[in-house]
Amino acid sequence: MKDLTLIVLDDETYRNPIYRGQNFTNSISSLTSQLSTHNISHEILECKYSSIPSKVDSGLVTFAHPLFLVQSDYIFNAISLNNILRDAGILFGPVFTESDSKLNIRHIKNTYYEYDLNFGNTSKICDITKEPHNYGSLYNAIISGAAYNRVGFSPSHSPRMTALDNPAFFNEVSKFSSIYYCSNIPRLRPIEDVDLEEKTISDYYYAQGYRDGLSCFSETEKKETLWKKFVESPETIDGHSARWLFYRDSEKFEISKYLELLVVLKCKYQIGFFEAITGKNII
């Protein structure tokens, strides 16, 4: 059995991200180099989302994507954490974002790809097993091979796209293993102009809605959620709206364009949520 399986994801978003800092490097080349440096036996699998294996022959699993960068000590920290947290099923680390774009990225930074629970300087490791709303993304997360194989991994498939993160997988892992947030295995997602195109952002919001919808597991819970969210208290949907779109820091930004995009994003989130919770393609 290998120590770690590195699953390299290949999809249509592949490109070499632009990052001018010094602390983070390309996750694929960096992880490969770190595995060799620390003499960690490993297997590298290159595959698309549709061909991700349901089981692996290794103690740990991680998904690498070229758009996510990692630090040079990522593998060392991850292996050390796994040795300490013997009951861990998944280790999530924070995701930071950075961009040179002159578009309004700073106003969506806290919700667009970024993930940081920020428990303060006193807490580097937190058990979030019973906090499914605090789970992060599996991109470069560390997954126990035993948990991965016991559940049988599969990505989530919506009528419009396939996504790596599957709440059903998280839910099953949490039943017999612990899930941790660890601040010392960070990732970085450079945001470029292409990431701020209307279609890209709206697809992101659709995926978020679909993932949130999948988080409702029982039929009773689904019905209650549908009733409350879309009938009894539809204003709760606004909690996921992109409020940053109302901000104007220059006269060159037309408020009408922001309002149009705001409507698109709210609708895409709701469509994703509704399709997940009902299993129907509504449009």
Instruction: Please tell me the predicted confidence (pLDDT) of residue 242.
Output: 53
For the chain, give the mean pLDDT: 83
- pLDDT, one tens digit per residue, over 26-46 is 778 888 888 888 898 999 998
**Is there a contact between 41 and 3 (Cβ–Cβ < 8 Å)?**
yes
Write down the pTM of the prediction: 0.85
* Proportion of the chain above pLDDT 70, given as a percent: 82
User: Please, which pLDDT band fits residue 109 given cuts at 50, 70 and 90?
Assistant: low
Q: What is the C-alpha separation between 86 and 195, in angstroms, rounded?
A: 38
Instruction: Please tell me the predicted confidence (pLDDT) of residue 120.
Output: 67
- pLDDT, one tens digit per residue, over 150-177 is 999 999 888 888 889 999 999 999 999 9
**Between the CA of residue 54 and those of 19, 50, 61, what are the distances in Å?**
33, 11, 11
User: Please, which pLDDT band fits residue 84 given cuts at 50, 70 and 90?
Assistant: very high
**Is there a contact between 72 and 34 (Cβ–Cβ < 8 Å)?**
yes
Highest mean pLDDT among 85-94, 103-112, 113-122, 247-256: 85-94
Q: Which amino acid is at 208?
A: Q
| Helices marked H in the chain | 27-37, 74-84, 145-151, 167-174, 198-214, 219-227, 255-278
- pLDDT, one tens digit per residue, over 190-216 is 888 888 888 888 899 899 889 888 888
Whether 251 has a pLDDT exceeding 80, the answer reads no
Whether 102 has a pLDDT exceeding 90, the answer reads no
Instruction: Please tell me the predicted confidence (pLDDT) of residue 196.
Output: 84
| Contact residues for 181 (Cβ-Cβ < 8 A; gap 6+) | 92, 93, 94, 117, 119, 125, 126, 128, 134, 136
Instruction: Please tell me the predicted confidence (pLDDT) of residue 223.
Output: 79
Instruction: Please tell me the predicted confidence (pLDDT) of residue 32.
Output: 86
Percentage helix, strand, coil for the chain under 3-state DSSP, each rounded to 5: 40, 20, 40
Q: Which of 7-11, 146-150, 190-194, 248-252 has the lowest mean pLDDT?
A: 248-252
Pairing of strands 69-70, 187-190: antiparallel
Whether 62 has a pLDDT exceeding 90, the answer reads yes
End-to-end CA distance of the chain: 46
Instruction: Please tell me the predicted confidence (pLDDT) of residue 149.
Output: 96
Q: Can you say whether the dihedral through the CA atoms of 80, 86, 91, 94 is positive or negative?
A: negative
- pLDDT, one tens digit per residue, over 254-263 is 556 666 777 7
Instruction: Please tell me the predicted confidence (pLDDT) of residue 12.
Output: 60
Instruction: Please tell me the predicted confidence (pLDDT) of residue 193.
Output: 83
**Is there a contact between 123 and 216 (Cβ–Cβ < 8 Å)?**
no
- pLDDT, one tens digit per residue, over 238-250 is 555 555 555 555 5
List of domains in the chain: 2-192 (3.90.550.10), 197-278 (no CATH)
Whether 89 has a pLDDT exceeding 80, the answer reads yes
Instruction: Please tell me the predicted confidence (pLDDT) of residue 121.
Output: 64
